Amino acid sequence: MNKTASPLKIAAILAAAAALVLMIFTVSRLAGSPARGAFPEQGDPAGTKWRPDLTEETLELDGVTYARRRRVESYLILGVDRTEAQIRSGSNPGQADLLLLLVLDAADSSFRVLPLNRDTMTQVIVLSPDGSMSNGRFEPICLSHSYGTGGLDSCLNTVRSVEYLLSGAEIDGVIALDLQSIGLLNDAVGGITVTIDKDLTGAHPSFTPGARVTLDAETAEAYVRARVLVGEDDNLSRMDRQMDYMNAWVKKARGLGEKQLMALLEQIEAICVTDLTEKRLSSIADSVQKYENRGFLFLDGEYVQGIAFNEFHADPVGVRDMVLELYYAAE
């Protein structure tokens, strides 16, 4: 990090660091891994009858012509489920338990965020020990990161799965943080106060219904990861809690001073995996600061009981409409 950079440059980079916290909110470790099935050799596993080809400048659907937006950039933000011991030993690449797609539209100066459910079933490429791609499987998207070394190769493998899910939408970069970032980010802003809306005492004794709890590093991790221990069979309720936590964190982080944010950024850089340069990261941060925030988008779908775990199947029409909304405009 160039500490002699101008205050404006530093502010832009620090804003990017704040944006990185989006990646921490769906991290949870489960006993075992989701069941794996063979990927169909033919056909679309999601059952999509119409998949936009994003290499096309225009598309026709139900008598409407859609033109490709020319100034759209997409960045994938990952939260990887790995402990510090696993990181040091290199024994576990970890699963991509949080996937957030940041979509910037320079044409109208806006951005949106698309969280993707970790349980979403899609094509996942298996990486051989030498790093080469072998076969594809129909698996939960979180497993895409579990192939590879846990470094950039695993991140790019997850990019492939997201691009497939979204009909080939090109992703311009990826950023990943590990489990240990939760407590770091929480404590950097002096803790986040939350209201417990249901019985979460299975995750921590203080999480009783209606309680107001100021989270520290330990309880923040328990709060954002709570799922199986509190009797939740799917990932949806947890995602709602995590979005609330994220909004509270970003609001509080805006009150930090430059020195505090610089210290936080340096800590994040030490545990961050990305293919983005500092210049690109700064540019993204600058856009996020200046652009209109049009909020979150969510893919519709349903949970289906798999062999060992619940599987989230995205609605094919919903995927199609999402791609059109993010990457095309009706003429």
pLDDT of residue 46: 41
Q: What is the mean pLDDT of residues 260-283?
A: 76
For 91-112, write each residue's pLDDT tens digit.
678 888 888 899 999 999 999 8
For 144-154, write each residue's pLDDT tens digit.
999 988 889 99
pLDDT of residue 215: 92
User: Which has more pLDDT, 267 or 63?
Assistant: 63
Name the band, by pLDDT with cuts 50, 70 and 90, for residue 3. Answer: very low
Q: Given a cut of 60, is residue 8 above it in pLDDT?
A: no
**pTM score:** 0.74
pLDDT of residue 236: 64
pLDDT of residue 40: 33
Q: What does the alpha-carbon distance between residue 218 and residue 209 come to, in Å, rounded to a whole number?
A: 19
Q: Given a cut of 50, is residue 26 above it in pLDDT?
A: no
Q: Torsions phi, psi of 176, nearest 5?
A: -135, 140
Name the band, by pLDDT with cuts 50, 70 and 90, for residue 23. Answer: very low
Amino acid identity, position 199: D
Which of 101, 96, 95, 66 has its CA nearest to residue 298? 101
Name the band, by pLDDT with cuts 50, 70 and 90, for residue 234. Answer: low
Number of Cβ atoms within 10 Å of the Cβ of 116: 26
pLDDT of residue 85: 61
- Domain assignments of the chain as residue spans, ordered by start: 7-179+260-330
Class of domain 7-179+260-330: alpha beta
pLDDT of residue 108: 92
Q: Given a cut of 80, is residue 190 above it in pLDDT?
A: yes
Question: Alpha carbon of 35 to those of 23, 44, 155, 258, 305: distances in Å?
Answer: 24, 19, 21, 46, 10
Diameter of the chain by CA atoms?
Answer: 57
Q: Given a cut of 60, is residue 41 above it in pLDDT?
A: no
